[in-house]
Amino acid sequence: MGALIRIDAVTKRYRGAHGTVTPLNRISAEIPQGRLVVFMGPSGTGKSTLFRLLNRLENPDEGEITYRGIPLTKWDPVRLRREMHYVHQTPILFLDTVEENLSYPLSLQGEKASTDRMREVLEQVGLPESFLKRPVDGLSGGEKQRVNLARSLMLDPPVLMLDEPTSSLDPKSVETVEKMMIRIRDLGRTVLLISHDREQAERVADMLWKLEVGRLIPGEVMG
C-alpha cells in the first residue's frame, strides 16, 4: 500500500522585517495509514507550518503534498479538512454550551449529533455527560482543551492532527488524552501529533520525526 500522505520537496518561505525566513526547506516524507507520528523540534522550526500546509490553510512555495494519491490542490478544502482535521493548540469554543460546540461540526454537514455520540466523545477525553449543558465561559483552560478535542472526534476523521493537545492539562488528563490517541490509532486512523515532550513521544509514538532548521528528519521507529 502506498503512503497515505506524501510530502515531496516542499518549501515554505515567509518575508519578514528582517528578511526571508524558510521554516521548511525541500522536506520530503511519507506518512503511512494507521500510524501515530510525533513531530518534535525547537519552537519556530516549522511544525505548525507543516500542519497548516497539510490542512491547506496555506500552500507550499515549492513542492507538492498529496493525500490518498491526490494533490492537496485538487481537494475541496472543506472535504479535506473533514478528512484531515486540525486541532489547534489554543481552543476556540465560539458557541454558548459544550453541547452546542460538539454538535456544530456535524450541523455544517447537514447531520444531527446524537446525545449518545456526544457522551461517547466526552468520555474519550475524560469528561462526564453532565458537561453537555455547561457554559463554555465557565470552563478551565484544560477543560476547554478537552472539549476542543471532543468536538474534533465528533467528525471521526481519518487523520487527526493535534498541535500540543496536552500542554495545559494535568497529569491524569494527559494520560486520558494519550490513551485516546492510541485508541484512535488502533482503529486504523492516522494521528499526527506536535509535542515538545520526549517522554510523551516515547509513550505514544509509532514514529518520531524531528524538524530542525528547515529540515525534516523522519523515520525513528519507537518501541
- The bridge status of strand 36-40 relative to strand 190-194 is parallel
Q: Which helix (H) or strand (E) holds 36?
A: strand 36-40
Which spans in the chain are helix H? 47-54, 77-83, 98-108, 115-124, 141-153, 171-186, 198-204
Grid cell of 76 as nine digits: 475541496
pLDDT confidence band for 43 (50 / 70 / 90): confident
- Looking from the CA of 28 toward its CB, the CA atoms found within 13 Å total 4
pLDDT at 220: 65
CA distance 113 to 111: 7
CA distance 197 to 170: 14
Residues 45-69: b if buried by 16+ CB within 10 A, e if exposed: bbbbbbbbbbbbeeebeebebbbee
The structural domains of the chain, with segments of one domain joined by +, span 5-221
Reply yes or no on whether the pLDDT at 1 is more than 60. Answer: no
Grid cell of 146 as nine digits: 478537552
pLDDT confidence band for 223 (50 / 70 / 90): low
CA distance 55 to 137: 28
Give the pLDDT confidence of 61-91 residue by residue, as tens digits: 999 999 999 999 999 998 999 899 999 888 8
- Looking from the CA of 54 toward its CB, the CA atoms found within 13 Å total 31
Reply yes or no on whether the pLDDT at 221 is more than 70. Answer: no
pLDDT at 207: 92
* pTM over cut 0.75: yes
| CATH number of the domain located at residue range(s) 5-221 in this protein | 3.40.50.300
Reply yes or no on whether the pLDDT at 218 is more than 80. Answer: no
Reply yes or no on whether the pLDDT at 191 is more than 70. Answer: yes
Average pLDDT over residues 213-220: 79
The residue type found at 165 is P
Average pLDDT over residues 96-112: 89
